Amino acid sequence: MEFYRLLTKRDSQKENKTSPTGTPATINPRNMIGEIENRSTYVLAIKSDVETQGEFINSLIRAVETAEFTDMSDVEAFIKWLDGELSCLVDERAVLKHFPQWPEKKADALREAAFSYRDLKNLESEVSSFKDNPKQLFIQSLRRIQALQDRRAYWKEVLTTLKEQGTVPARDTGNYTSPGNGCWTPVSSMKLSSLTLAKAYMRRVTKELKYNESSQEQDLLLQGVRFAFRVHQFAGGFDAETKHAFEELRNVGTGQQKQ
């Protein structure tokens, strides 16, 4: 140890002499020793978990291996429980790699499915409660609505694939099939709630065309109609309220309500 300290001291003195900035670039042996000790403590903690938590981990292995679900809310609850149980380990990945029977691919697939389900629920909640803010700039408002619809279009594609294949896209699920399409929000409900976005978009464009002079009126009209068409295709049609919003947009576009 004394020899090591002597070497590091010489190296520090050498760097101090040659440093072009004049800033000492010292190495504190005590810090390095402390880091080594901390690392050793970490390794020992992992070893302790491996040796003492075997029965507990084996019970989790059985829980994951036998887990079957018919509803995504149950998957979400299971993963929340599983992550809570694993949080008692000093390092989940480092400990579990010592248990080759741990069903890592299935656990990861379930975790990814639960994360995706939460994302979908948040999106549905955001869309269903969406209200356009009249104080928000016109372009920002349209971009916000467009971003929501783009996310919905992505999820429609995911759920359609799920319906056809009976799987959830995942990074590496191996031979494990993620929770099937029966667990997920039906595509039909997503289609209907998209009409909320279509109405908000068309009404915002209608208001802009009706009350604000612009040299790009034709472009704005086309933008509104294009968005309406996309949602019409996505949802498979309009309800009465959305049809009314489209009629208002068309009337303003043809000059019938221009003020």
Is the separation of the CB atoms in 252 and 209 below 8 Å? Answer: yes
How many residues in the chain? 259
3-state helix, strand, coil in the chain (%, to 5): 70, 0, 30
User: Residue 56, CB half-sphere, CA atoms under 13 Å: how many?
Assistant: 14
Backbone angles phi, psi at 26, to 5 degrees: -90, 155
Q: Which pLDDT score, from 0 to 100, does residue 40 have?
A: 80
Task: Tell me if the pTM is above 0.75.
Answer: no
Q: Which pLDDT score, from 0 to 100, does residue 28 have?
A: 62
> Token pair for residue 141?
């408002």
Scanning the structure block, which residue is given the tokens 């349209």? 142
d(CA 142, CA 198): 11
Q: Which pLDDT score, from 0 to 100, does residue 169 have?
A: 44
Domain ranges of the chain: 1-52, 133-253
Q: Which pLDDT score, from 0 to 100, does residue 41 have?
A: 86
Is the separation of the CB atoms in 177 and 110 below 8 Å? Answer: no
Q: Which pLDDT score, from 0 to 100, does residue 190 have?
A: 77
d(CA 49, CA 55): 11
d(CA 7, CA 244): 83
Mean pLDDT by 10 residues, the chain (259 residues): 48 52 55 62 91 96 92 90 96 95 93 87 86 90 94 80 56 45 62 89 92 79 93 91 94 70
Residue 69: left if φ>0, alpha if ψ -120 to 50, beta else—which one? Answer: beta
Report which DSSP code applies to 182: G
Query: Which residues lie closer than 8 Å to 49 by C-beta, 6 or more apart?
Result: 89, 90, 95
| Amino acid type, 135 | K
> Token pair for residue 242?
């959305």
